[in-house]
Structure 1
Amino acid sequence: MQLLNNAFRSDVAADCEWHGGRKIIYWRPTADLSAQSIRSVSGRTWQVFTPKYKKTAPDKISYCLHAALEWQFLDIDGEWFCALVPTYHYTHDGYCDSLYLSETPHDI
């Protein structure tokens, strides 16, 4: 199981960070903290990193929203499956956890 988990984290390490406390991987911020989206195989566009600006100061970031995943490997009748659960991760500057992380909804 540990080998599968490490392989999964390694596979997405170029674009994602591991959050050991929440046991999730989340999309790394852009260098200039601009919004980032990706296109899926089906052609749909997904926002993976979004800075959210303060209403009272539209040039200052209030918090950042990162697309994230929880996962679990399951052994079903001798075959291994990976169950992916999309969620979000919140930071106050793109890097440090938001102080309000525990108060925010995590499900997509």
Structure 2
Amino acid sequence: MERRYSERIKTGYKTEILYGNDTYTGVVENISASGVNVLTDELAPGFRFRPDDPIELKFQSRTEETVLLKCTIMWTTTIPPQNVRHRIGMEIIDQPWEKFKIL
């Protein structure tokens, strides 16, 4: 597994998670120049995100601009005890840092 070199910044941005043909909600826990970590709201029991799948995040930056990040799922885990919330680690494919001031 490749080691992380970019500093992570805690954000707390509410986000829409676009996965397949569905939209879910969650919170961006932290973000860096190359990756992002999201905690989902509750999902149906048994639901799974799959590593290597494409995924998009849509949220408002601190400057109130709408940001759309195209990502790839690197890892995912469920949160006990009910296992209906997920923590997802993603690699950002399309890095819009020059356009948006979110870092």
TM-score of the aligned structures, taking structure 1 as reference length = 0.26
Structure having the larger proportion of residues in helix: 1
Max Rg structure? 1
Higher relative contact order (Cα pairs below 8 Å, separated by 6+ residues): 2
Structure having the larger proportion of residues in strand: 2
